[in-house]
A and B are shown apart, each in its own frame.
Chain A
Amino acid sequence: MAEPLLDVRGVTLQYKTKDHLVTATYRVGFQVFRSDRYVILGPSGCGKSTLLKSVGGYIEPVEGEMRLGGSPIRKPGPDRVMVFQEFDQLLPWKTVRENVTFALTASGRLPRRLAGEKAMHYIQKVNLGKFADSYPHTLSGGMKQRVAIARGMAMEPEILLMDEPFAALDALTRRKMQDELLQLWDDTHFTVLFVTHSIPEAVLVGNRILLLSPHPGQVKAELNSTGKDEPGADGQRLSQRIQRMLFAEEVAEEVAAHA
């Protein structure tokens, strides 16, 4: 088997709120290989976003280690580009084109002129060529997310980290963006680590799904997905299996509580 691109081993993450020390994940481990569309799926409170930020280098694990291409992750860097859920991830004082160019020049990837060309290439890929000189506040939510994706892809990072990138969009746009993401992936087979709390999104977008249970986040299962959600050998669809795994306990607990 090939070497994993991202190797996460026994990672425990904690963060402080005003009056608590919260354990977000407890000894989570997983491996992402090149060209994976790796999805981390779990209910809120399972620490999936914290986990992604930790891969991004923003939060240091209190236990365990994370390696990207063999070297340990210590701080944020342009080899792992984050796409966030929030629309304000674009710099409002830069146009669409400048936002993408800025990423390339600030990180020292490319000199200005080449950066401009590459930026346009990726902006056209997400079908925003006509809006290259628009400021972000004039774009819709879906378009902003497409710019953020173009910016992330233009960086050609080792791994693209997506933190519920479509969660703030309306259902129709969201559905469209998922298809567009898959089309982009068909093009270049980039590696993406994708966090979501939506089972259909995980099944559609991912080829491998990591299920986390909440409080604190722990690995529950790792499943393969074809993206089609067809009934398997046991007659169950993948989404049904996931649903059962995530909610079986809850139901059992509730039954016990009411008994």
Chain B
Amino acid sequence: MPDSTVQVQRPEFVAESQSKLFGVVEKPLTVGERLYGNSAVRKGALLLLLALGWELYARKVDNPLVFPTFTATVEAFVGAITSGVIPQRTWASIKVLLQGYSVGLVLAALLTAFATASRLGTDLLETLTAMFNPLPSIALLPLAVLWFGLGNNSLIFVLIHAVLWSVALNTHAGFRSVSQTLRMVGRNYGLSGPRYVTQILIPAAFPNILTGLKIGWAFAWRTLIAAELVFGVSQGSGGLGWYVFENKNLLEIANVFAGLFTVILIGLVVENLIFRTIEQRTIRRWGMQH
């Protein structure tokens, strides 16, 4: 039996390079693998399945007054687009939305600036957001109508409420989470005041700011459509929400579906094209989000 307390003696050796012996280090995936790896393809396939399910179910129900088929909806949609009704209504909605959104952003910027500059400002922002963030904007509509009358001003008022709090809250949280090191770096190179904010704080907090903008957009869009359902005809040509409401009254249910379809479509475009592109060009490229 060998003595286990003695170490085994082995000769040393230095390995030769084997780089010629192994075959492929990298090899492209197959077409199927790459297609399945593409989330757009996967989601597109799911959408197709859903549309198919819709069509089949609607045919089974066979009542266009309650549940029109997918093809009828598409027809109504295409018809309303070519006749120019939907583009016009959409533009009416988006115009109001942009007005409310931009005023909301300016107010959010002011509030955040105040909150960043002073302790009292922070308290004010925290108190106000705690109070108003849980309050659905649509609940303010009756008051808005009382104060600003039937019309775009009331819509803009509720839109501001929808945008302001989420943007201000997220931006402020983003500023607070900027690392001490980055802050010190900024001050080291002599940055202070507005230059410090624009060159250090805003880019460093950009992931949070973008989240705020996205949430603000989603709130605003939902709020706008809901508010338009209540009124929106005052300007002579209402927005998409009014279009839905109007067609329901006329029992043009396929048009109602087409209107809702447009609402969804615009939501998807803004979310997946606009915000996704901004994300990819900024925070993903910078490695701040994966």
Name A residues whose Cβ lies closer than 8 Å to a Cβ of B: 53, 56, 58, 75-78, 80-82, 84, 86, 88-89, 91-93, 102-103, 106-108, 135-138, 155
Contacts and interface: CB of A to CB of B under 8 A. Distances in A.
Contacts, number: 66
A88 B179 contact: yes
Contacts of A103: 189
Contacts of A76: 184, 187-188, 190
Nearest to A92: B286
A77 B190 contact: yes
Contacts of A58: 184, 187
A92 B282 CA distance: 10
6 contacts: A75-B187, A76-B187, A76-B188, A84-B184, A91-B182, A106-B191
A93 B181 contact: no
B186 to A, nearest CB: 8
Contacts of B199: 102, 106
Contact of A108 (B190, B286, B288): B190
B189 A93 contact: no
Contact of B185 (A53, A75, A91, A136): A91
A138 B287 contact: yes
A135 B285 contact: yes
B281 to A, nearest CB: 11
B190 A78 contact: yes
A53 B182 CA distance: 14
A107 B189 contact: yes
Nearest to A108: B190
B244 to A, nearest CB: 42
A58 to B, nearest CB: 6
A81 B26 CA distance: 43
B176 interface: no
A107 B185 CA distance: 11
Nearest to B203: A93
A139 B184 CA distance: 22
Q: Name the residue in A53, A81, A82, A91 with the highest tally of chain B Cβ atoms < 10 Å from its Cβ.
A: A91
A81 B286 contact: no
Q: Name the residue in B181, B185, B287 with the highest tally of chain A Cβ atoms < 10 Å from its Cβ.
A: B185
